A and B are shown apart, each in its own frame.
Chain A
Amino acid sequence: MKTLDVSVVTPDGPVLEDNFEMVVCKAENGEIGILPEHIPLVAPLTIGDVRLKRDNNTEYIAVNGGFVEVRPDKVTILAQSAEKSSDIDVDRAQKAKNRAEDRLQSKQDHVDFQRAELALKRAMNRLKVAQK
């Protein structure tokens, strides 16, 4: 079976570089699945999980924004932060979630509200991926 060269890169260094049969990620307009020989594509990603499939196994990666660049035999995901499900610090994510919820409840001004909302999204995404 044909495979794709997948690399997930963050400012703190590469998170993962491996071969997979299929990549599924969440773009802004919905999920996209990428198989080998896909046409070249660039799409921004939302906060969400990336699923990497190989031999009936699936690996999960939590991605915070960024974008995906696709070439026929290579997929590059550039995100400001990304973690494999096994690398996620669940305690920290849980704390971040609680903090964000507190802030959302205290109803401050607009900018803080947005930031708290994003933080909450990121934390929930991490927790979700960590459980898989």
Chain B
Amino acid sequence: MASLRDIKQRIDSTEKTQHITKAMQMVSASKMAKAELNARSFVPYSEKLQEVVAHIASSTDATHPMLQKRNVKKTGYVIITSDRGLAGAYNSNVLRSFYQTVQERHKSKDEYAIIAIGRVGYEFCTKRELPVIKSILGLADQPNFADIKKLATETVQMYTDEEIDELVIFYNHYVSAISQVVTSKTLLPITDMETGSSSTSQYEYEPSEEAILEVLLPQYAESLIYGSLLDGKASEHAARMTAMKSATDNADELIEDLSLAYNRARQAGITQEITEIIGGVAALE
């Protein structure tokens, strides 16, 4: 049985760890609130953009390469992970789902390319020698559009240049503070346009529909990448908060068990001393 001092030491160290996890939990909680707010302030932009794109795409017969499916020779994958760990299953869920998809769909590494956002995903891929062509590491906790604009533009450009024929994104969708779901979405070609928008007004296009699609679609695709990133960030903070909360709870439980063991050991010590004294007295008589 561990000595009193050993148990005491373990209790102390567990308490210290608990302080840290508790602090991290609170930090993540406030970051999550901020990230959720960011994701929400992005909504009006994306909704409006989608509305106009859907409207143009449905009301005219103007076509654009981004709206047309083509034979897929090479697929681009965007994977959004965090830069740091301690976020529970946040990263492993995304990476597992991504890895399975790749194993199922592709036989050779020439058939796909990876755009990694976040260090964990980047290291996962380089360790397995998967083809990472672009990456962004060390993004801020509350990223701006400007932070990923370059990457988004280049990625969309790759599709336009027919380097890739399809763009799929993997990220954690934020459902609530305790639930995040791995989601994979095909960003390009743009297919699922909701056409049932409320505005039925007929627009004038200046200069022409094609010219507008030319500007609008890349902007739309870039905004989708950014939207997923914001969603992913909110999930990251939520996942970290939950992970830290359960770590704190576990520490509580551990301390409780240890305190019990400590008290038992103390009691055992006292009992033993008493027995020894009584034994000594009995021997003298």
Per-residue A-contact encoding for B150-174, CB less than 8 Å = 1, 0 else: 0000000000000000000000000
Give the size of the chain A interface in residues (CB under 8 angstroms). Answer: 26
The residues in A between 12 and 48 inclusive whose CB is less than 8 angstroms from any CB of B are 12-14, 27-29, 32, 39-44
Instruction: Please state if B223 and A44 are interface contacts (CB–CB under 8 Å).
Output: no
B86 within 8 A of A: no
B41 within 8 A of A: yes
Per-residue A-contact encoding for B201-239, CB less than 8 Å = 1, 0 else: 111111100011001100100110011000000000000
B132 within 8 A of A: no
B177 within 8 A of A: no
Per-residue A-contact encoding for B110-139, CB less than 8 Å = 1, 0 else: 000000000000000000000000000000
B49 within 8 A of A: yes
Instruction: Please state if B48 and A9 are interface contacts (CB–CB under 8 Å).
Output: yes
Per-residue B-contact encoding for A92-114, CB less than 8 Å = 1, 0 else: 00000000000000000000000
Q: Which of A28, A69, A80 has the most CB of B within 10 A?
A: A80
Instruction: Please state if A42 and B203 are interface contacts (CB–CB under 8 Å).
Output: yes
Q: Which residue of the partner chain, among A27, A40, A44, A78, contacts B45 with CB atoms under 8 Å?
A: A78
Task: Tell me the number of A-to-B contacts counted with CB atoms below 8 Å.
Answer: 80
Instruction: Please state if B219 and A66 are interface contacts (CB–CB under 8 Å).
Output: yes
Per-residue A-contact encoding for B37-79, CB less than 8 Å = 1, 0 else: 0100110111011001000100000000000000000000000
Instruction: Please state if A44 and B215 are interface contacts (CB–CB under 8 Å).
Output: yes
Give the interface residue-count category, chain B: 20 to 34
Complex-state Cα separation, A42 to B55, whole angstroms: 11
Q: How far in angstroms is the closest Cβ of chain A from B43?
A: 9
B140 within 8 A of A: no
Closest-by-CB residue of A relative to B43 is A13
A67 within 8 A of B: yes
Given known A-B contacts A12-B145, A27-B206, A32-B206, A42 and B42 have beta carbons under 8 A apart: no
Instruction: Please state if B212 and A44 are interface contacts (CB–CB under 8 Å).
Output: yes
Complex-state Cα separation, A39 to B212, whole angstroms: 17
Instruction: Please state if B203 and A44 are interface contacts (CB–CB under 8 Å).
Output: no
Given known A-B contacts A28-B207, A78-B48, A42 and B223 have beta carbons under 8 A apart: no
Q: Could you list some 22 contacts between A and B, CB below 8 A?
A: A7-B44, A11-B46, A13-B41, A28-B211, A40-B201, A41-B205, A41-B206, A42-B52, A42-B56, A42-B203, A43-B207, A43-B212, A44-B215, A65-B219, A67-B212, A67-B215, A67-B216, A69-B52, A71-B201, A78-B45, A78-B49, A81-B146
